[in-house]
Structure 1
């Protein structure tokens, strides 16, 4: 039940983020007097729609994005009248058809409400408004998570309760990749074998009382002990003595996490104490996520072979690779069904949705049609040309012909559809393994 709820919550959150993105375009377009006949979330067949004023708002069947339709996205060809005979050339017919389709949306009374007639800076604002809506939403979500709820364990990650959040089921080296599945030859953890359960509060270790919320002290005691120990837990108002037999294994040093040491291992994760942070932490978090997400987007082409192999050839999935809407929703479902506290679950969903919005912000700014950046770049180039012409005393060169980029737009769209299909298959049959 919680798994399904997690999937639904993340899916709805992503669709709301898409609608929020399109709302940015819509509001900016209306601000500058551009006519917007359609505002839809999704693609394909219309599931529901309602006309408000001159705009039809609705939802379509394929939930892989959204769009608003503004009139006059393509300028007429210089010195030509739409509707004349088609010109020759490998892509000219396609371009002419697109111009004619764009012109059909324009009624005589709307001639001055077309997108291309607006000043370049206004067109840039309209196209950038969508991605920046996602950035704004991401900042708000991170602020809610970091300033409102807090950072798990505090700024240094050391503030934890002595209540158990998770019990690891098997022993894996610290250097092993994160996974929620135990290999067949992996021994059970001492905690699992002894019957320790999530929600148990450890109140004594080998007869010595444990200071409430002093997880670091308890952790040091566990690592220094050996053999069979007695752990007293409080469960449902009763105290129980459990006797796990600790094992020695690889672990990360408490003071230098990058260093691997040998220590005794129990196999439990504590419920953290959530400590609210200041706005500086929010800014640092957003900046860090933007940089890491930007690097991930740049590296997408080199991820394709592994993604294709994991989708169709049975290859092992790259755990640091890309995930799609299905994959993200599935991660949310797995987290909600893993037995974390309500605070941890809310915090995880908020942070994950913020990450999705950072990805939408950066991806849509790529200077490739049909992405938003593919309209921003021609407008920037037009502004530069106009400026140069003005300085040289030349006449206004007119709008940059974005229609000439249509062949690129179709290639990018096909590539995106192919990528999305491969990603969908990989997320369905070979999903990212989560550590919970």
Structure 2
């Protein structure tokens, strides 16, 4: 079972994990096919990425599940997002993936195609698929096979620390302006506080911002054929657009390196930050802020549908689990139970299943997320193509290069060349 001690041990181990190539050896996904024995003592390994707030909520859910199923013990661990996927690569190469794990649709092809994920139809007796709309259920499907299920869905948002802005005497960012106007607003905050609190973070570090820029223009990060959907010039223009923010307006990258894995917003060093809407609860916990507001991210193309209903946070079962039925029961509890809705609210995304939503009381933070999703409904477009194999690695490469640009360790031109060179290798 998850403990503070085991968490520290996990984080220490994750920090020592080097970048390992994912040696996908084509493990065949086995059939469940067995009868569940409610008297058999079972221990399931379960892992996720996130912060202390998410860990505390998972522990509450684990306790509730174990009370209903006293023969099943959930051994939970967690770490930050980058370390999480490096650990999974190492485990995949060695054949030791967790029984159940928090998953991302970004990695669906990468782990499903070589047979590392269990076909959930083989344990359909233990999972309520009917609680999901088809469009959300399909986010965990590859060529018609259900490999994962979403915990919820989110949209990209800008978070504002209301208390810090009040102290600075700066009006809150209204949302939905151009990117240049958002940068001007950040500069106002930084100037008003003398740099004690920065207006925000360089948005060009995140591939999600680039995705929004591309989608507003009718493009996507990648094509249905598994190729990049943008050119070197488009990426160069995007990274160059962050030059003004990096010139004393946004928090310096060196400061972010010193406080990682806590973000600038979570540590109260920035008054705004862009991320997924379901991060609201975690941001409140990390920052200790009394009030955080969500507003629409910038948009340079009037009427552009740059946002989408992102159901990237999913749950999956490893193909080589020794306890597929028990694992399916735990997965179903996470994505479908009313207890999950009550404990997590919207912090894992707005509930994707109707049964989980039934347990969610939409008040406070959860009502705020629901109101935000409604407020940007006119900017919601079609979902992007199923992520290409290696998208998770591309996302991390993009982030790493963006941070290197911020540190002055690499020029934009060299970063563009390096990204496309690595993309060519990753995408084959």
TM-score normalised according to structure 2 size: 0.28
Which structure: greater strand fraction? 1
TM-score normalised according to structure 1 size: 0.27
Higher relative contact order (CA 8 A, sep 6+): 2
